Structure 1
Amino acid sequence: MADAPTYTAEQVDAAVAALSEPGRLDHAQEVVTHAAPALQKILNDALFDGGYFSGAHESAVAQAAATDDPEQRVIAIRTLIAEEVRLGLLIGTSVGFQLAHELQNPQTPPQET
């Protein structure tokens, strides 16, 4: 198995900047749309395996929903949503990074669907 390539901060910065170019994400969006059900399962599994949907999270949801002050309830709910988005972004980026590596260096032949 070949070692995964490593990247400098400058290379990552340049690649991230390139993503803002018009049309640059078109093919990636097509691929992700195709793979969305499987990617959703990976995200859900990672969140559950990481304990995100544990009792602490459920308690935070219940606490936010039960807050009497409407302004504080909105703040608590927004905070929970932002936390979920951040986690989804981090997990999604990790999965995407590894998916690119797997596509470049397949370990097993792809299965026909």
Structure 2
Amino acid sequence: MLSKIPSPEEIKEVVFSIGSNKALGPDGMSAHFFKCYWNIIGGAVIKSITFFFQRGYMLKEINHSFIVLIPKESNAATVSQYKPISLCNVLYKIISKLLANRLK
């Protein structure tokens, strides 16, 4: 079931369930962009996600992430005073969430 090709409706549902203003991806895009312009880019997003499930191959640009340390308090001086966040590409987040939902 994990490798089953998702339907366009399932993909759209996942896109719209991702937090709009979470951390931007390495490309500077957020899920908000994908939601606002779904009528324009939705077909390409569905095609990209479907390609991943058909081929089992992900472009390195989609799998590209930045790990950033965010200070928990002002004047943070030690590593324990920072929290790491991962800035992932939105397409990567969609694939991850599709798989996580299926595992549930």
TM-score by length of structure 2 reads 0.26
Structure possessing the higher radius of gyration over alpha carbons: 1
The structure with more strand, counted as a fraction of residues: 2
